[in-house]
Every structure is written in C-alpha cells, then in structure tokens.
Structure 1
Amino acid sequence: MEQRLTAEERLTLKTGAFGAVFLVSNADPGMLALVRESFAASGAMADTSGVVKEALTTGPLPKLPRDSDSEIESVVLPALRRAVEILREKSPVDVGTYREVVLAAADRVARAHHGVTPKEAAAIERIRDALAQPA
C-alpha cells in the first residue's frame, strides 16, 4: 500500500541518491570527469518511475557538504539508510527500485571516465552497505 511522501521524505531520498553520486564522483575528482559523470548519473535516475522518480525529480536540490569525504559520508550514508526506512514504511514495493537506481547511478558515474578506480569501488561498497541496512 503506497502512501504519499512528504516534502521532507522526498528530500531525504534525493539527498541519499544525489549524495551517493557525489560521493563516487568525489572519490576520483576531475573537471572533464565531472561532466561525463553528471550525464551518466542523470541517465540512471531518469530511467526510474513512480514514487522514486517523483522524489528524485521534484523539489529543491539537496545541500551536501563539500569539505571532505568523511563529511560527505556523514550526511549521505544516513540519508540512504533513512530513505530505505521511509520506503519500507510508505511504499515497500519501491525499496528495490530505489536501491537499484542509486547503485546504477553510482556505477555509471564510476565507469564514465576511465573505468572504476579502487576509491570509487570503495565508495560504491559503502553505498551498497548503507542501502542494505535493515530498518
């Protein structure tokens, strides 16, 4: 039974998804890479539908820290865990979709510029772990 998400809940889903992309992109920074990576991520997110698509395409952009990887992770990983909890509660059929979209976007970002580096792979693994956490 699907329930409508609040603006705050949609922002949590968006913070987790966009933050995951930023975390992977930040693992191996570069200006040309950033352009390719943003196109890759937007393609993965555009491929979704329903509650997840609504959350990722409406409302304001999330405010993410930019100072350090640990600071970024301190916002993104809890947002991913909370996003899964929100979806389990309000739209359980979309939990798998959210996980798939976030991981696909992270993977596309990592592959967009010269393949997946060890730092990018480690970031994706932390994202995967956060998404797999039980509520």
Structure 2
Amino acid sequence: MTEYTDEERQTLRTAAFGAVFLVSHADPGFFASFKESIAGAKALAGASPELQSVFKSGGLPEVPKGSPAEMESGVLSALQQSVGILQSKAPQDLTEFRTVISGACDQVANASGGVKDTETAAIAKVKSAIGA
C-alpha cells in the first residue's frame, strides 16, 4: 500500500471530488446536481481498493473556495498535482486514476437529461488536466 502524506491525500481527494463537482455544477439545478453527485460518488466507489482508501480518508473532501473561476482553477490544479503525486509515488495507479476520474465525469454528465455543452467543456478541462 502506497504511503501518502496527509497533504497528498487531500490533494488526491480534492482532485477526484472536485472533478465530479465541476461537471455537476456545469449543469445548474438542484435535482440535476443531486443526481449527478450520486452518479459521481458511485463511479469513484468503483476504484481499486488502493484509490478508494485515499478517496475515503480524511473526512469530507474540500472543494476550492471562491468564485466559479477560482474553484475551477483550484480543482484543475489539484488534478495536475495528483498526476505528479501518482507518477512519483504510485505510477501503477496513474492509469486507473485517469480512468476513474474520466469515467466519473462521464457518468455525472449522463446522469440528468443528457450531456450539456457546458458539461462537455468541463469534462474536456478535467481530462486535459489529468492527461487523459
């Protein structure tokens, strides 16, 4: 099992839950966001035990605060940092991390009334940040 610092775990969690948050909030509306958040959580739960232990550790995940642009920038930064963390500490998990994050974003976008252009744009930013 890979040992991560508390800061690295928080970065990985912020990246995963932040990616779901970005796509979910690209389609406004409470019920859409609720359905999409559940879809995203289910997708993250399908990760390997190693990644699941990171996603589930440390209490509630933190999404960067501020304006929508600041939140997006913070999440994309966490995604890029996560790739670096995994490349250096657990390169065997990097492909799966990319697959899980990409899959979660796709499931979120499809969870409520089809994929909107705003969701497609958010997914493209997430996938670019993780090199998927």
**TM above 0.5:** yes
Aligned length: 132
Q: Which amino acid aligns with 2:76?
A: L
Partner residue, 2:41: 42
In the TM superposition, 1:24-103 aligns within 5 A as: 24-65=23-64, 67-103=66-102
**Offset at residue 61 of structure 1 (A):** 2.2
Instruction: State the SS of the aligned residue for 2:3.
Output: coil
Instruction: State the SS of the aligned residue for 2:59.
Output: coil
Q: Which amino acid aligns with 1:82?
A: Q
CA distance in 2, matches of 1:79, 1:27: 18
> Structure 1 residues 65, 92: closer, same or farther in 2, change over 3 A?
closer
**Offset at residue 72 of structure 1 (A):** 1.3
CA distance in 2, matches of 1:11, 1:4: 13
> Which 5+ residue runs of structure 1 have no aligned equivalent?
none
Partner residue, 2:124: 125
Instruction: State the SS of the aligned residue for 2:62.
Output: coil
> Which 5+ residue runs of structure 2 have no aligned equivalent?
none
**Offset at residue 69 of structure 1 (A):** 2.6
> Structure 1 residues 120, 48: closer, same or farther in 2, change over 3 A?
same
**Offset at residue 67 of structure 1 (A):** 4.6
Using the aligned pairs only, state the percent identity: 45
Structure 1 residues 2-32: Cα deviation after superposition (integer angstroms, max 9, x where no partner) = 6311111111011011001110111111111
- Compute the RMSD of aligned alpha carbons: 1.5
> Structure 1 residues 68, 115: closer, same or farther in 2, change over 3 A?
farther
Deviates more, 1:64-73 or 1:97-106: 64-73
Q: Which amino acid aligns with 1:22?
A: F
TM-score (norm 1): 0.91
Partner residue, 2:22: 23
CA distance in 1, matches of 2:128, 2:56: 24
CA distance in 2, matches of 1:124, 1:106: 6
